[in-house]
Structure formats: structure tokens, C-alpha cells
Amino acid sequence: MRALLLTLMAGLATGAGSFIALLCKRTTPRFLSVSLGFSAGVMIFVSLVELFNDAREQLSLHWGLQWGYFGAIAGFFGGMAIIAIIDHFVPSEVNPHEARETEAAAYEATNTQACPYPSPGSKSHKSKLLRTGMLTALVIGLHNFPEGIATFFASMQDITLGVTIAFAIAIHNIPEGIAVSVPIYYATGSRKKAFWLSFASGLSEPVGAIIGYLILQPLIGGPTFGIVLAAVAGIMIYISLDELLPSAREFGENHLAMAGLAGGMAVMALSLALGA
């Protein structure tokens, strides 16, 4: 239940993104750039230093050192392949791993405007905006499935580790919530509709965790959990390199993204050292 609660909190950070976009507060894209870099640093470090090694150790108990290592490698790249396959079948214009310029522009709009009520605009323009927002919500929901599995199983392995990963994923879910809510708001003029659709897209993370657990539960006991941990590491590395770092650079300057990355790694390294 604790693992599921952490997954739920990470997923619902998309709702926090909607609040940022719809409550008309001035925002700071540079701060988001550092935050996304920080999230990437946490996820990269914990994936390579903690999760992958835990997976290798667990698999080595069943298959021996060499085959355990090979099993961890296979699980790692299998996790990356899961996200890559999802990306392959998603149109690039609504893919949260591709459409970063639109996402950055939406965030910038909340910084430079006082969230005015949408201007009338043409009916076709509003229809296109609504379609973009709905497709983005659907695609983000699809991407959140494996993220939910990653958070859930990492939390089952170590609740402290799960808190860290949930926090990192929550940070990167915030701009995704903005990307959903802004076009829907400007298409419909309804803050409620924009918020709830963004909120709903985040619910797919706990749903993904539950479905993943129900499918894998009968198998957890042998080497399956080690393979899942390795796959989780691969999923998070892919998300960090394909989405978080490019998004961090899109929102701010390169050195800000790298400062966040280094800070995330440093914090994660210290927390692991203190917890050892």
C-alpha cells in the first residue's frame, strides 16, 4: 500500500502542473529547467548505482555471477525497449518525449501572461487545440504506465528508494500537466475541464502499477523481481536521456540543466551513503 501511495502521488503531479498553468501565478522556466535536470540526475544515478546492482545481485543468487550479470543487462535494455516501442507508435507532435518546444511554449505562456480568458479565435483553431490537448493527455497516460510500474516496484524493493524515485518522477510530471491543460483551456475556456483531464492522465501511473503487479505477482519469488528491477533502471535511464534532459535545456540554458543534473546526482549519492 505504501508503494501504491507513492506511485499515486507521483502520477498526480500532473495536476500540480495544471495548477501552475491555470492559477495565473508567474512562473520561472529557469527554475523548472534546474528541477528537470535535478530529476534526471536522481534517476540516472539511482538507476545505474542502486537498481541495476540490486538486480544483478538478486539474479546472481539464482543464475550465478556471470549469468546474473547477463540477466540484469537483458532486463535493463528490455526496459529501454518498452519505452522505445511506445514512442515508435506515438505521433511525434503529441509525444511528450518529442514535442518539447510546444511544452516549453505553454510553460512560458504562464510566465509572460496573466492567463487571460481565451480570445474567441476560429472554431477550427479551437478544435485543433482541443484535439492536441486530448491526444497529449492520452499519450502521457500511456507513457505513465511503465513509469508507474517503475515507481511501484522500486518502492517494494526499498521504500526510501521509492520516495526518491517518486519525487523525481513527480517533478517531470509537472510540465506534462501543463502541456495537457493549456491547450484544452484555450480551446474550451474551462479551467475545470483542463484540470481534470490533466489530473486523469496522471492516474494511469497507479493503474499501471496495479496492472503490472497483478501480472507479475505470481512470478515474484524467483528471478522475476531482479529482472523487473533491471527493467525499471532501463526505463528511468531512457526517460532521463530522451525527455528530462532535452526538456531541461528547452526550458532554460544548458548550464542550468547540467547544474541540476549534478545536484541531483550529488544528493542521491549522499543519501545512499548516509543510508548504507
Encode pLDDT of 151-175 as tens digits: 888 888 788 888 888 888 888 787 7
CA count, 13 A, side-chain hemisphere, 256:
18
Predicted pLDDT at 214? 87
pLDDT band at 92 (very low <50, low <70, confident <90, very high): low
For residue 120, pLDDT beyond 50: no
For residue 235, pLDDT beyond 80: yes
User: Residues 50-69: what's their mean pLDDT?
Assistant: 93
Predicted pLDDT at 13? 85
Residue with cell 495536476: 15
Which of the residue ranges 22-31, 96-105, 263-272 would you say has the lowest mean pLDDT? 96-105
Predicted pLDDT at 118? 46
Predicted pLDDT at 171? 81
For residue 266, pLDDT beyond 50: yes
Which span out of 5-9, 94-98, 152-156 was modeled with the highest average pLDDT? Answer: 5-9
For residue 209 the three cell numbers come to 502499477
User: Residues 250-258: what's their mean pLDDT?
Assistant: 78
pLDDT band at 141 (very low <50, low <70, confident <90, very high): confident
Per the CB < 8 A criterion, the answer to whether 46 and 164 are in contact is yes
The residue with greater pLDDT, 212 or 252, is 212
Predicted pLDDT at 124? 60
